[in-house]
Amino acid sequence: MKFKKIGIIADKNSVAKKALAKLKRKYKLIAIKDEDNVAKAVDLIIALGGDGLMLHSLHRFMNAGKPIYGMNCGTIGFLMNEYNDKDLLKNLAKAKITKIHPLLMKAVTADGKTHEAVAVNEVSLLRKSGQAAKVKISIDGVTHLGEMVCDGVLVATPAGSSAYNFSIGGPILPLKSKLLALTPISPFRPRRWRGALLPHKVTVRFDIVHHKKRPVNVTADFHDVSDVTSVEVKEDSSKTFELLFDPGHGLEERILREQFAY
- Decide if pLDDT at 36 tops 70: no
- Which pLDDT tens digit goes with each residue over 81-113? 999 999 899 999 999 999 999 999 999 999 999
Fold classification of 6-100+240-258 (topology level): Rossmann fold (3.40.50)
* Nearest alpha-carbon partner for 144 in 208, 206, 192, 188: 206
Percent of the chain with pLDDT over 90: 83
pLDDT band at 262 (very low <50, low <70, confident <90, very high): low
Global pTM reads 0.91
In this prediction, residue 259 carries a pLDDT of 81
When mean pLDDT is compared across 36-50, 115-129, 140-154, 172-186, the lowest value belongs to 36-50
Sheet bearing 228-235, strands edge to edge: 114-119, 103-109, 228-235, 203-208, 133-139, 142-150
Strand 223-225 versus strand 216-220 pairing type: antiparallel
- Decide if pLDDT at 39 tops 80: no
Q: Quote the distance between the C-alpha of residue 73 and its chain's center.
A: 19
Q: Just list the catalytic residues.
A: 51
In this prediction, residue 20 carries a pLDDT of 95
Is residue 190 reached through a cis peptide bond, with omega within 30 degrees of 0 on the bond before it?
A: yes
- Could you tell me which residues are beta bridge partners of residue 124? 154, 219
In this prediction, residue 10 carries a pLDDT of 95
| Ranges in the chain annotated CATH 3.40.50.10330 | 6-100+240-258
Q: Which amino acid is at 204?
A: V
Q: Does domain 103-235 have CATH number 3.40.50.150?
A: no
| Ranges in the chain annotated CATH 2.60.200.30 | 103-235
Residue pair 86/71 in contact (Cβ under 8 Å)? The answer is no
More confident residue, 201 or 62: 201
Mean residue pLDDT across the chain? 93
In this prediction, residue 75 carries a pLDDT of 83
Contacts of 52 (CB under 8 A, 6+ apart): 11, 74
When mean pLDDT is compared across 62-66, 209-213, 242-246, the lowest value belongs to 62-66
Query: What CA–CA distance (Å, rounded) separates 240 from 242?
Result: 7
Query: What CA–CA distance (Å, rounded) separates 15 from 73?
Result: 6
Strand 96-100 versus strand 68-72 pairing type: unpaired
In this prediction, residue 140 carries a pLDDT of 98
Q: In 3-state terms, what secondary structure has residue 144?
A: strand
More confident residue, 75 or 51: 51
